[in-house]
Copies of this chain bind each other. A is one copy, B any other.
Amino acid sequence: MGQNSFYGYGQKKITIDDVANALGVSKTTVSRAVSGKGRVGESTRNRVLNYIAENNYKPNLIAKSLAESKTFNIAVVIPGDYNLVDLPFFQKCLMGISEFASTFNYDVLMCVCYENDLSQLERIIDNHKVDGVILTRTLVDDKPEKYLIEKGVPFVVIGTSLNDDVIQVDNDHRSACKELTSLMLMKGYKRIGLIGGDESHIVTLSRYSGYKDALLETGISVDKQIVHLNVLTSIVAEKSALELIDKHVDAIICMDDTICSYVLKTFYSKGIRVPEDVKLLSFYNSMILENRNISITTLQFDVKELGVETCKVLINYLNGIEIEKKTLLKYEVILKESTK
């Protein structure tokens, strides 16, 4: 007992056999009527469909999985790195993915991967628990990506991959950062500082490219002294912010809201005023920057939509429907007080 005592959740489930017997037809016929595959007589089909609706028959997905060699599950890989755990980004992605998946009767399996520990992913793949995988970020040297390619597992990444064979869905961070930069340039601010995160994250590189694009188009050369990447801690961010002020920047673009919150705090404690002394821009319209003393001009991505689109691509791919190799989603610029 014990282990199985819960099975059926207390109520016996009716099987395809029960339906077939009750109706005096074969399981084959029931199966065909339910799945819609294969020919069944109009009237037979209706009898079956009515019966299962009335008697609340639900096919056992596990049995179906075994017979079809499909699981109707997808795994979503979330990075477990401490400083990313708090970001609302991944949670919102998950919501979108899960919403779309469930309308197609797929389920979403959580999978946390760490820099040096893919064991959760490996276990899921070894156990054949999913039909495909979504990676929620991309790295320059991406271990989960490599692993999945090696194993031949179908997957889609949220983000941009250096490998063109990888199916990818992303917001257009390059254009977005270019637009943010151009916005400042058009207002006549020529010295624009940039503070960004980990260079091993491809998104950091994309943003940096967009920044350079904007400058070069305007004929301004990039001053590497006011571009600070790999800013990962509050201490480095503080140092970086003050250094940019020393270098007389007109504006600072922060590549994420956490960095921006560090910068804001530093400025507050040093009496540097935004936007009077320096303009400030950030990348997500997230709650990290909400309800501050000053509102920050940022980009806005529809992250839930990003999840939805990605899941759509993966499920289409799994079902042999043609898809785009690369999907780029839009963004909006939200103008607020910090650039006034």
- A-side residues, CB < 8 A to B, are 1-11, 13, 58, 60-63, 65-66, 68-71, 73, 76, 78, 80, 85-86, 88, 90-92, 94-95, 98-99, 102, 105, 107-112, 119-120, 123-129, 131-132, 151-154, 234, 258, 261-262, 264-265, 268-269, 286-288, 290-293, 318-320
Determine which of B1, B5, B13, B65 lies in contact with A62 in the assembled complex, contact meaning CB atoms within 8 Å: B65
Residue of B nearest to A75 (CB): B107
Question: Are A128 and B60 in touch, CB under 8 angstroms?
Answer: yes
Question: Are A124 and B151 in touch, CB under 8 angstroms?
Answer: no
Question: Are B264 and A291 in touch, CB under 8 angstroms?
Answer: yes
Min Cβ gap A323→B in Å is 13
Residue of B nearest to A269 (CB): B293
Question: Are A3 and B120 in touch, CB under 8 angstroms?
Answer: no
A-B contact pairs, 9 of them (CB 8 A): A2-B319, A5-B320, A6-B153, A7-B70, A60-B66, A61-B127, A62-B62, A102-B119, A261-B291
Min Cβ gap A74→B in Å is 10
Question: Are A85 and B91 in touch, CB under 8 angstroms?
Answer: yes
5 more A-B residue pairs beyond the given contacts A58-B127, A107-B110, with a C-beta to C-beta distance below 8 A: A9-B152, A85-B95, A86-B91, A261-B290, A268-B293
Question: Are B68 and A95 in touch, CB under 8 angstroms?
Answer: no
| Residues on B with beta carbons closer than 8 Å to the beta carbon of A268 | 293
Question: Are B129 and A110 in touch, CB under 8 angstroms?
Answer: no
| Residues on B with beta carbons closer than 8 Å to the beta carbon of A94 | 110
Question: Are A112 and B88 in touch, CB under 8 angstroms?
Answer: no
How far does the alpha carbon of A104 sit from the alpha carbon of B76 in the complex, in Å? Answer: 19
| Residues on B with beta carbons closer than 8 Å to the beta carbon of A290 | 261
Question: Are A131 and B6 in touch, CB under 8 angstroms?
Answer: yes
Question: Are B7 and A69 in touch, CB under 8 angstroms?
Answer: yes
Determine which of B6, B69, B120, B265 lies in contact with A132 in the assembled complex, contact meaning CB atoms within 8 Å: B6
Residue of B nearest to A90 (CB): B91
| Residues on B with beta carbons closer than 8 Å to the beta carbon of A76 | 110
How far does the alpha carbon of A95 sit from the alpha carbon of B82 in the complex, in Å? Answer: 11
| Residues on B with beta carbons closer than 8 Å to the beta carbon of A69 | 4, 7-8
Min Cβ gap A81→B in Å is 11
| Residues on B with beta carbons closer than 8 Å to the beta carbon of A61 | 127-129
Question: Are A291 and B320 in touch, CB under 8 angstroms?
Answer: no
| Residues on B with beta carbons closer than 8 Å to the beta carbon of A2 | 319-320
Question: Are B111 and A109 in touch, CB under 8 angstroms?
Answer: no
> Beyond A9-B152, A65-B62, A268-B293, is A4–B70 a contact (Cβ under 8 Å)?
yes
Question: Are A265 and B293 in touch, CB under 8 angstroms?
Answer: yes
